[in-house]
């Protein structure tokens, strides 16, 4: 079942989501929610979706960077973004620790803030501790685009959005022209873009 994605302005996007217990994770409700969120994320399409985005204020997010989504990108672009496919997985009650605070700037967007995109600084490497869909404890490191996705989704669970840390002067509309120009923009092009705007 494809769920409706809550849009900017809805208070649920600004709430701190609550943690869920291992017992809850095993429930039909939560397992059904995970399936529906997977379907919703794929339909969007997106690389991550947090439960508050479908109106459920709990600390759960689904993540997947499918091969199909990155197929059209050049190897230079993939290399620069540190972007590679990430299999579907679920993060529950996550905590995030920044391992390398060097900031990386790329255009970022959100399924709850449709139509626009802004340059968003994200830490280069993070460590995530969480539970998975079976309630098992997981700890893993991530770099590049995957680290960006994790920072974006875990922010959602704490009532934060990428527009809180991106500079609004860098906002572009997600139209065809901008997609062609910025989708594959190199970090050098983005550095120039920021410089032109005095950022």
Q: Which residues bind Zn ion (CB under 5 A)?
A: 110
Which among 160, 181, 164 is positioned nearest to 172, based on CA atoms? 181
Compute the least distance from the CB of residue 120 to Zn ion, in Å: 11
For 26-175, where are the alpha helices, taking DSSP H only?
28-43, 67-70, 75-81, 144-157
| 153 in active site | yes
For the chain, where are the alpha helices, taking DSSP H only?
22-25, 28-43, 67-70, 75-81, 144-157, 176-182, 187-196
Q: What are phi and psi of 3, to 5 degrees?
A: -90, 160
Which residue number, 7 or 184, has a Cβ lying nearer to Zn ion? 7
Which residue number, 136 or 153, has a Cβ lying nearer to Zn ion? 153
Which residue number, 52 or 144, has a Cβ lying nearer to Zn ion? 52
Select the residue whose beta carbon is closest to Zn ion and give its number. Answer: 110
- Find the catalytic residue in 80, 108, 133, 153: 153
Compute the least distance from the CB of residue 53 to Zn ion, in Å: 6
Compute the least distance from the CB of residue 190 to Zn ion, in Å: 20
The catalytic residues are 153
């Amino acid at each position: 079942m494809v769920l409706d994605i809550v849009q900017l302005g809805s208070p649920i996007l600004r709430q701190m989501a609550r943690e869920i217990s291992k017992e809850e994770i095993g429930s039909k409700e939560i397992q059904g929610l995970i399936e529906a969120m997977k379907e919703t994320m794929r339909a969007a399409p997106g690389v991550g979706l947090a439960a508050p985005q479908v109106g459920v204020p709990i600390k759960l997010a689904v993540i997947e960077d499918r091969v199909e989504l990155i197929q059209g990108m050049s190897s230079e672009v993939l290399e620069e973004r540190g972007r590679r496919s990430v299999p579907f997985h679920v993060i529950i009650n996550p905590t995030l620790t920044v391992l390398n605070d060097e900031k990386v700037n790329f255009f970022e967007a959100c399924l709850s803030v449709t139509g626009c995109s802004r340059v968003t600084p994200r830490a280069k490497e993070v460590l995530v501790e969480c539970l998975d869909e079976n309630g098992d404890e997981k700890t893993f490191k991530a770099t590049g685009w995957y680290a960006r996705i994790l920072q974006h989704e875990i922010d959602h669970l704490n009532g934060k959005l990428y527009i809180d840390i991106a500079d609004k002067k860098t906002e572009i509309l997600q139209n065809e022209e901008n997609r062609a120009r910025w989708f594959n923009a190199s970090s050098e092009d983005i550095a120039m873009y920021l410089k032109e705007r005095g950022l």
